[in-house]
């Protein structure tokens, strides 16, 4: 076979910040979109038209997009900045104020440069592989490819919830959503989600950039696992269908890339405050023949053990007929009076989330009706539904690119769940495991191969559930859960890392999975605390898992233990008191968590973050560890080793020290310290200068009340810091009069601490005083709005009525 060595592209059009280049002899189009000064898009098609002319993944700053997607050529949501171009004999150059794109027209190989903000010099940060970067002639194999040069020193992060260490360099990953119950959190791949994006950090230049591939088919990311002497060091992306459409997002700082990616793929849904509470769940209860009795017992035991519980997730056993699952069917033998049960839960402040699945078994009571209406994904011939393996049986997946399917789904969510006072949908088993390559989707009126749209089926499923909930209660913020998904899922749901296995290793590597999701722009996340599959966790492991879980946005204890036990807070009497106190500690920290969730929604900031995200100037923070940041103030040091009674923690440098949250001792940054790690006090360090809002009341299962404290962790010597606390009723749609913001500014000197408090907004706060707490060893004078208040054990009470209006 001869090798074609010349692929000379020519500029044919330049309009609306889109430059169109064409390889005439092969009818290949390469479009460069200058979208922002720090975002440039490369879009290649075989022929003038793309294989899929819509995008569902790219939704800059949007809370929602139409079911039919957005026009792939639409650039109206970008700023479209001014740029310069020039051309010489072999290259074409495009330059914004922040980056320069140099295109070698023979082969369309691109070199990317960042402009240094201080020196204005250009620094190379990425380059296509020079021997061959794309497969214009199909010689590289099936689908579309993109090869980039690789540097051994580079670090790669993202790709969603992938297993193993956070730095992906040297591994190969598949993007193909599966249901890997009991997966190995260190090695299993692929997992549940399709996140075709990663971030590159270059230690030598301190530059970070992201690359996001807007492609919905199965794909591979080789991050340096493969090597070939003829091509030098490289990494590549391959998708088996669709077009090559990618976005380069320049930092130069890591946090700028992450927040930009979150903005690019859509706004994080602002879930209600109760979604942050402990959520109970287990397969065992709804699988039991007396499921309603079991759930009543759960509620009674929460009250008996004083376990604060805000919601319960109904596993799919409520839909069973014999031992199979039939979505939207209620088993009246297990649940003879579900309305009475749900009223009891609501009366005690516990919301309900019901499991729903997008696949109907062939003997489902509604199967024939839907099959006759062509509401399932179809076989390659388009003559009948495509059948697939599902829960030890055969079924067919609903096609959410069909308006009839969407309408039916919304009706069922409303009639079978919302009308029964179910509060939330739990969109589960939605990986759409269809293995026939040429299966067909309705495509909203234009038949299209399933593979081209594979990743958006779970996205459209959750959107259909979301719309049903919004229409049912238009003034209430919806809360949804989904296991599978793709970029953009954050617009609708909270998610988790799926059906983990019960072992110490899973606790350790689930932390890294969650951080991988955060670096990929998906922030409202958690893990099945205690482990889902396998044996019951031993008491020590269970406590350590709860200690870790209370610092994640999603805090759910869930299980399907192989030994028929159930993971619940009181399962081990010897540690039940510790578990209870940890859940109460979670409730105490809820204002801080809720504020972090609001900032994720409003400002695209991750809730949990790798330590290096906040402290990239300290090279030691890039060393592998099990620590993470909650917001920008809390350093969480989870215990992930059996038998440990202390925890070593590295405290990042270049800040004015750290405090132990519990002991309130101050430590200098840039050192490793050893802190106690008892069962009832998880190791937690606070950055000096922080102000942490808390819920002050001694809450119980039966009595919950909002009160507000602010724990002050002042600078050791001099410094200033600010914090803005968002307050609302926790459930209502945000409007002009539904919230209040309390603005805090702390100025610290060698002799005193001044806190200035102002507020804006019309929401009537549920408390009349704010209690300010200084560290026990703090001797400096504390002033609140210029007044020295009386102290009671370093607690200072301040009337909300004395807050100044913010200018």
* pLDDT tens profile 147-194: 999 999 999 999 999 999 999 999 999 999 999 999 999 999 999 999
Q: Match 């998904």 to its residue by tokens.
A: 485
Instruction: Give residue 593's pLDDT.
Output: 98
User: Residues 542, 535: contact at Cβ < 8 Å?
Assistant: no
Q: Helices in 479-557 by DSSP H: which ranges? A: 504-519, 539-549
Q: Taking residues 487-493, report their average pLDDT.
A: 98
Q: Taking residues 277-284, report their average pLDDT.
A: 95
For the chain, domains (ranges, CATH) are: 10-265 (2.60.40.1760), 273-495 (3.20.20.80), 519-688 (2.60.40.1180), 689-807 (2.60.40.1180)
In the DSSP assignment, the letter for residue 621 is G
The whole-angstrom separation of Cα 94 and Cα 20 is 12
Weakest mean pLDDT among 68-82, 127-141, 169-183, 572-586: 127-141
Better-predicted residue by pLDDT, 791 or 671: 671
Instruction: Give residue 699's pLDDT.
Output: 84
Instruction: Give residue 118's pLDDT.
Output: 84
**CB burial class (10 A; 0-12, 13-18, 19+) of residue 645?**
exposed
Q: Taking residues 405-430, report their average pLDDT.
A: 97
Question: Could you read off the pLDDT of 357-398 as tens digits, one per residue?
Answer: 999 999 999 999 999 999 999 999 999 999 999 988 999 999
Q: Taking residues 671-680, report their average pLDDT.
A: 98
Which tokens in the block code for residue 716? 């050791």
Q: Taking residues 283-303, report their average pLDDT.
A: 95
Instruction: Tell how strand 122-127 and strand 10-15 pair up.
Output: unpaired
Instruction: Give residue 805's pLDDT.
Output: 79
At residue 3, does pLDDT exceed 80? no
Instruction: Give residue 413's pLDDT.
Output: 98
At residue 463, does pLDDT exceed 80? yes
Which of 336, 243, 242 has its CA nearest to residue 291? Answer: 336
Which of 602, 598, 550, 591 has its CA nearest to residue 770? Answer: 591
Q: Taking residues 616-631, report their average pLDDT.
A: 97
**What are the CA-CA distances from residue 487 to residues 268, 309, 312 (Å)?**
11, 30, 27
At residue 270, does pLDDT exceed 70? yes
Task: Band the pLDDT of 793: cuts 50, 70, 90.
Answer: confident
User: Residues 252, 221: contact at Cβ < 8 Å?
Assistant: no
Task: Band the pLDDT of 120: cuts 50, 70, 90.
Answer: confident
Q: Taking residues 295-324, report their average pLDDT.
A: 96
Q: Taking residues 746-764, report their average pLDDT.
A: 96
**CB burial class (10 A; 0-12, 13-18, 19+) of residue 348?**
middle
The whole-angstrom separation of Cα 366 and Cα 89 is 65
Instruction: Give residue 5's pLDDT.
Output: 59
Task: Band the pLDDT of 142: cuts 50, 70, 90.
Answer: confident
Which of 779, 705, 714 has its CA nearest to residue 744? Answer: 714
Q: Taking residues 628-636, report their average pLDDT.
A: 98
Q: Helices in 348-485 by DSSP H: which ranges? A: 367-372, 403-412, 450-453, 456-472
Q: Helices in 64-155 by DSSP H: which ranges? A: none
The whole-angstrom separation of Cα 574 and Cα 212 is 49
Q: Taking residues 523-530, report their average pLDDT.
A: 98
The whole-angstrom separation of Cα 411 and Cα 416 is 8
Q: Taking residues 340-360, report their average pLDDT.
A: 96
Question: Could you read off the pLDDT of 59-78 as tens digits, one per residue?
Answer: 999 999 999 999 999 999 99
Task: Band the pLDDT of 2: cuts 50, 70, 90.
Answer: very low
Question: Could you read off the pLDDT of 195-240 as tens digits, one per residue?
Answer: 999 999 999 999 999 999 999 999 999 999 999 999 999 999 999 9
The whole-angstrom separation of Cα 468 and Cα 736 is 25
Percent of the chain with pLDDT over 70: 99
Instruction: Tell how strand 787-788 and strand 781-784 pair up.
Output: antiparallel
The whole-angstrom separation of Cα 340 and Cα 360 is 28
At residue 807, does pLDDT exceed 80? no
């Amino acid at each position: 076979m001869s090798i074609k060595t010349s692929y000379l592209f020519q500029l044919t059009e330049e309009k609306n910040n889109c430059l169109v280049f064409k390889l005439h002899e092969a009818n290949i189009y390469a479009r460069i979109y200058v979208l922002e000064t720090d975002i440039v898009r490369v879009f290649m098609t075989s022929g003038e038209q793309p294989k899929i002319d819509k995008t569902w993944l790219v939704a800059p700053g949007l809370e929602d997009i139409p079911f039919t997607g957005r026009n792939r050529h639409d650039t109206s949501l970008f700023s479209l900045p001014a740029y310069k171009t020039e051309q010489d004999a072999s290259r074409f150059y495009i330059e914004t104020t922040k980056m320069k794109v140099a295109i070698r027209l023979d082969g369309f190989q691109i070199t990317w440069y960042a402009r240094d903000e201080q020196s204005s010099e250009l620094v190379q940060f990425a380059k296509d592989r020079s021997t061959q970067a794309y497969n214009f002639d199909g010689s590289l194999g099936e689908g579309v490819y993109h090869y980039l040069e690789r540097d051994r020193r580079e670090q790669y992060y993202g790709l969603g919830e992938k297993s193993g260490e956070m730095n992906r360099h040297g591994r190969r990953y598949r993007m193909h959503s599966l249901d890997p119950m009991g997966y190995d959190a260190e090695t299993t791949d692929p997992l549940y989600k399709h996140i075709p994006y990663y971030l590159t950090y270059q230690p030598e230049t301190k530059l970070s950039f992201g690359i996001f591939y807007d492609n919905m088919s199965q794909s591979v990311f080789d991050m340096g696992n493969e090597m070939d002497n003829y091509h030098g060091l490289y990494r590549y992306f391959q998708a088996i269908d669709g077009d090559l459409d990618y976005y380069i997002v320049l930092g130069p700082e890591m946090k700028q890339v992450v927040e930009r990616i979150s903005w690019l793929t859509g706004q994080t849904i602002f879930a209600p405050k109760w979604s942050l509470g402990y959520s109970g769940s287990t397969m065992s209860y709804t699988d039991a023949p007396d499921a309603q009795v079991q759930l009543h017992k759960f509620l009674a035991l929460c009250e008996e053990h004083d376990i604060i519980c805000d919601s319960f997730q109904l596993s799919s056993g409520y839909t069973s007929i014999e031992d199979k699952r039939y979505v939207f069917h209620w088993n009246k033998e297990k649940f003879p009076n579900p309305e009475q049960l749900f009223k009891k839960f609501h009366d005690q402040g516990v919301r309900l989330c019901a499991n729903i699945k997008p696949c109907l078994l062939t003997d489902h009571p509604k199967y024939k009706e839907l099959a006759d209406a062509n509401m399932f994904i179809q076989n390659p011939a388009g003559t009948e539904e495509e059948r697939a393996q599902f829960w030890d049986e055969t079924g067919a997946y609903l096609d959410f690119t069909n308006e009839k399917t969407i309408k039916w789904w919304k009706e069922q969510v409303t009639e079978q769940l919302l009308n029964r006072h179910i509060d939330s949908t739990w969109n589960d088993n939605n990986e759409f495991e269809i293995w026939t390559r040429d299966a067909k989707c309705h495509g909203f009126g234009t038949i299209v191969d399933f593979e081209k749209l594979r990743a958006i089926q779970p996205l459209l499923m959750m959107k259909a559930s979301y719309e049903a909930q919004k229409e049912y209660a238009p003034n209430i913020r919806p809360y949804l859960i989904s296991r599978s998904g793709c970029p953009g899922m954050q617009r609708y749901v909270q998610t988790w890392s799926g059906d983990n296995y019960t072992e110490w290793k899973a606790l350790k590597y689930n932390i890294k999975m969650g951080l991988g999701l955060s670096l990929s722009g998906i922030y409202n996340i958690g893990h099945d605390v205690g482990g889902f599959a396998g044996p019951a966790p031993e008491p020590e492991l269970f406590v350590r898992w709860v200690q870790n879980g209370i610092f994640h946005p999603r805090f759910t204890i869930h299980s399907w233990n192989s030994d028929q036990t159930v993971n619940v807070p009181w399962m081990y009497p010897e540690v039940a008191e510790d578990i209870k106190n940890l859940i109460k500690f979670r409730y105490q920290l809820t204002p801080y968590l809720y504020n972090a969730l609001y900032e994720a929604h409003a400002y695209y900031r991750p809730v949990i973050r790798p330590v290096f995200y906040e402290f990239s100037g300290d090279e030691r923070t890039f060393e592998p560890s099990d620590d993470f940041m909650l917001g920008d103030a809390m350093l969480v040091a989870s215990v992930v080793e059996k038998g440990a009674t202390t925890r070593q923690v590295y405290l990042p440098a270049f800040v004015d020290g750290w405090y132990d949250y519990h002991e309130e001792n101050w430590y200098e940054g840039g050192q490793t310290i050893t802190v106690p790690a008892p069962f009832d006090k998880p190791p937690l360090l606070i950055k000096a200068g922080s102000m942490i809002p808390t819920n002050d009341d001694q809450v119980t299962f039966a009595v919950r009340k909002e009160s507000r404290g602010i724990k002050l962790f002042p600078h050791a010597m001099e410094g200033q810091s600010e914090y803005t606390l968002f307050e609302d009723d926790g459930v209502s749609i945000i409007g002009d009069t539904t919230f209040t913001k309390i603005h805090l500014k702390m100025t610290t000197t060698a002799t005193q601490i001044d806190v200035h408090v102002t507020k804006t907004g019309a929401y009537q706060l549920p408390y009349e005083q704010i209690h300010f707490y200084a560290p026990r060893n703090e001797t400096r004078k504390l002033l609140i709005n210029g007044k020295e208040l009386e102290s009671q054990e370093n607690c200072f009470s301040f009337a909300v009525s004395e807050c100044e209006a913010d200018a």
